[in-house]
Structure 1
Amino acid sequence: MGNALFVVWRESVEAMLVIGILYAWLKRNPAPGGLRALWIGVGSGVGLALLLGWAMLAAQDELSGQALEWFQTAILFVAAGLITQMVLWMARHGRHMKGHLEAGLARAADQGSWIGIASISALAIAREGAETVIFLYGLGMEHGDGSALAIGALAGFALALLTAWATSRGLRFLDPRHFFKITGALLLVFAAALLVAGVERLIGMGWLPPLLDPVWDSSGLLDDTNAGGSLLATLVGYRAQPSLMLLLAYLGYWGSVLFVKSRLHR
């Protein structure tokens, strides 16, 4: 539930920030049908994200046995990859996002294209929505508690609305740069946990060798099947009895992320 709340909150705040940038520009630079096109685009983006969620559930219902196992494992890797890519993209392009969005709107408005305006908002919202849907699917597949996941997602969206309202009222407690930096780091931790779950499935299916299993056994200190250990396993990918392959995947992930981040800051 906590992961779902956090992810939906973070992604919804980003989506609301995009909508706010587009709305403010259109208010300053009125274009025929511009605001209507903006909201049509927002609705279309949400619809595309929901369509993706429906397609994933429909595909799951049609699959069984090993095919279903492969599909679910692939979703874990896709979710981890998307979240990682999104965080790294924001680290590199976040400061220029407002300028890019406004430049796109200016071109569409100059051409008198309400479709262009709608497309800009639709694609931006669909991207955020797709990342959220895939991540929630991965979480639900691993933990199976749909009601807790739904409650967490709704709470995250409500918190995002409250955050957007407070910011619009001039309560400057939210510095976007610090917000995305801190939440981005936490999202990378969650992505690593999904990667661990995917690698664990591949080992269980016999497609990856464990190499050495286990490397250690810390279940006497913290068992990953009890309440505290299970929470840590969900949040950061903790395993009380990790195999060497699992450790190599985990360390390889963080090594790659830190290398890319170091290149971004040059």
Structure 2
Amino acid sequence: MFGNYLIGLREGLEASLVVCILVAYLVKTERRDALRPVWLGIAIACGISLAFGAMLEFGTQELTFEAQELLGGTLSIVSVGLVTWMVFWMKRTARHLKADLHGKLDTALAMGTGALVATAFLAVGREGLETALFVWASVRASGEGSSAPLIGVLLGIATAIALGYLFYRGTLKINLAKFFRWTGAMLVVVAAGVLAYGVHDLQEARFLGGLGDKAFDISQTIPPDSWYGTLLKGVFNFQPDPTVLQLSVWLLYLVPVLTLFLLDRGRPAAAPQVRPADSDSTPAG
């Protein structure tokens, strides 16, 4: 559940920051007339993201078992690729996000209502679609048949919305550099588990071989249905009996990606503080 809470919090907070930046800029520049099309674009983005998630969940139920596993494994790998790109991108560009969005918003204001709707939709929609895909893949990996992963995601998103509101009101500050660094590192660990699970799906679909080649089996020591087995699966997507291919892929992804992420400090600069009510030197003002 914690891993899915982290996904909801991290992805939801990115979307909340984008909304804070857009709304705060329009209010500060006395362009409240442009708020309606911006909110419309945000609403459309949220609606499409929810529809995409529903399509993933319910649209695959009529497929055969092999087809479900093939699709699930493929989308799990795609989602890991997107999340990996996202954590590196956000770590490097978080301090420049505000200026970039302000520039796009200025251009949209000059072009008219349609451009404002499109700008807000594109700014939030990318986060929404990415979140829907990764959440779906992670929920499949960490808790099939259980509502706990979905509850964790919803709690994370709710927390992100609450934090976004506090950022906008200027009552809360956060060090974005540290936040995205440590949540990004934890997401890499979660993504490694999703990737291993995706490989297992492809093995069950008979797309990849080696399903019977177990790297180890400690099911007697850590039973999957025990409280600690459930905890390890919920947080790290831990599996007590992975295949050799699963373990190999997990290690080949986790070790180099986590090392690169922690060593990559980006451009040296003062860590930004989120406080939209302050001057333009803050990322969400």
Q: TM-score range by the shorter chain?
A: 0.7 to 0.9
Letter in 1 for 2:27: K
Q: Which residue of 2 aligns with 1:133?
A: 132
* TM-score between the two structures when normalised by the length of structure 1: 0.86
Q: Answer yes or no: is 1:20 the counterpart of 2:16.
A: no
- Partners of 1:193 and 1:234 within 8 A in 2: no
CA distance in 2 between partners of 1:48 and 1:241 (Å): 38
| Higher relative contact order structure (alpha carbons within 8 Å, sequence separation ≥ 6) | 2
1:226 offset after TM fit, Å? Answer: 2.7
- SS state of the match for residue 158, structure 1? helix
Letter in 2 for 1:185: A
CA distance in 2 between partners of 1:104 and 1:73 (Å): 36
CA distance in 2 between partners of 1:28 and 1:256 (Å): 43
1:263 offset after TM fit, Å? Answer: 6.4
- Partners of 1:45 and 1:122 within 8 A in 2: yes
Letter in 2 for 1:125: V
1:49 offset after TM fit, Å? Answer: 0.4
- SS state of the match for residue 59, structure 2? helix
Unaligned stretches of 5+ in structure 2?
268-285
Letter in 1 for 2:107: R
Letter in 1 for 2:207: W
Unaligned stretches of 5+ in structure 1?
none
Q: Which residue of 2 aligns with 1:110?
A: 110
CA distance in 1 between partners of 2:252 and 2:154 (Å): 34
- SS state of the match for residue 164, structure 1? helix
- Partners of 2:73 and 2:200 within 8 A in 1: no
Letter in 1 for 2:192: A
- Partners of 1:203 and 1:210 within 8 A in 2: yes
Letter in 2 for 1:121: A
* TM-score between the two structures when normalised by the length of structure 2: 0.81
- Partners of 1:196 and 1:249 within 8 A in 2: yes
Q: Which residue of 1 aligns with 2:154?
A: 154
> Is the alpha carbon distance of 1:162 and 1:258 closer, same or farther for their aligned partners in structure 2, counting shifts above 3 Å?
closer
> Is the alpha carbon distance of 1:222 and 1:68 closer, same or farther for their aligned partners in structure 2, counting shifts above 3 Å?
closer
CA distance in 2 between partners of 1:145 and 1:215 (Å): 26
Describe how 1:2-81 pairs up with structure 2 within 5 A: 2-31=2-31, 33-81=33-81
> Is the alpha carbon distance of 1:50 and 1:159 closer, same or farther for their aligned partners in structure 2, counting shifts above 3 Å?
same
CA distance in 1 between partners of 2:92 and 2:215 (Å): 37
Letter in 1 for 2:222: L
Q: Which residue of 1 aligns with 2:120?
A: 121
Alignment coverage as a number of residue pairs: 265
